[in-house]
């Protein structure tokens, strides 16, 4: 905040974002309680990039899902590009989903003083959840579901 004002958490906005992300995830992964993996292909110019959703953990009230773009996608082979990877916790009783890990960083605080040792933005938690929202919106708009092949027998 360059004008000297301290960042204030907009809690209703953040809750609405997480609730909308929960609904988006269920639209993309309707068999979340049964299946362990869901894949999508997204257009990337003349190429396709693969997005993989993997269930990491299931509990009675929560599910932890990892979302990542597949390594080996031609545009991700550039040394300066980082493979997008995040973990999202779905809270089934609250029907909400929030990013709990982004690019290996865990446990985001609602607000950070700035500057700080890790150079998190004051609204880092809101930004990663907004990124998830945009990522899921692209999957919904542009994604083509891809069947997961299981070994015979």
The pLDDT of residue 88 is 97
Residue-wise over 40-52: b if at least 16 C-beta within 10 A, else e? bbbeeeeeebbbb
Query: In the predicted model, what is the mean pLDDT of residues 54-60?
Result: 96
How many residues does the structure list for the chain? 153
Q: Residue 74's pLDDT band (boundaries 50, 70, 90)?
A: low
What pLDDT score was predicted for residue 103? 76
Q: What pTM was computed for the model?
A: 0.79
């Amino acid at each position: 905040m360059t004008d000297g004002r301290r960042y204030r958490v907009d809690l209703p906005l953040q809750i609405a974002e997480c609730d909308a992300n929960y609904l988006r995830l269920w639209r993309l992964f309707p068999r979340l309680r049964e299946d362990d993996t869901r894949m999508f292909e997204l257009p990337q110019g003349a190429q396709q990039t693969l997005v993989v959703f993997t269930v990491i953990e299931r509990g009675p009230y929560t599910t932890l899902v990892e979302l990542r773009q597949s390594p080996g996608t031609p545009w991700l082979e550039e040394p300066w590009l980082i493979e997008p990877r995040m973990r999202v916790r779905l809270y089934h009783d609250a029907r909400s989903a929030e990013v709990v890990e982004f690019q290996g960083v865990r446990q985001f605080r609602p607000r950070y003083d700035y500057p700080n040792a890790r150079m998190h933005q004051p609204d880092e938690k809101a930004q990663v959840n907004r990124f998830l929202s945009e990522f899921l919106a692209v999957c919904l708009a542009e994604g083509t579901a891809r069947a997961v092949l299981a070994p015979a027998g």
